[in-house]
Amino acid sequence: NAMVSFKELCGLTPAANMKQCILTVSSWLMNSERVLRVTVDLSEAYPTMEAHGPIPELLRKVLTAYDT
């Protein structure tokens, strides 16, 4: 299941909810030593996240799992 993979990449259990996952990703972005840009498009029923510029490999995997 792609959602379970997304949660596990975030370091959370499969029982975690989507809000917890998004908060975890937000925390990574806010606490990064580098400036990381990720756009969240809330105009659709299922929001999308898109990275702009270079991002760490783990974050790229998380965003890929989220989009799956």
pLDDT digits (tens, 9 = 90+) for 10-59: 889 888 888 898 889 889 888 888 888 888 888 988 888 899 988 889 88
User: Which pLDDT score is estimated for 43?
Assistant: 92
Residue 66 CB-half CA count within 13 A: 23
Model confidence pTM above 0.75: no
Q: Which residues contact 35 (CB under 8 A, 6 or more apart)?
A: none
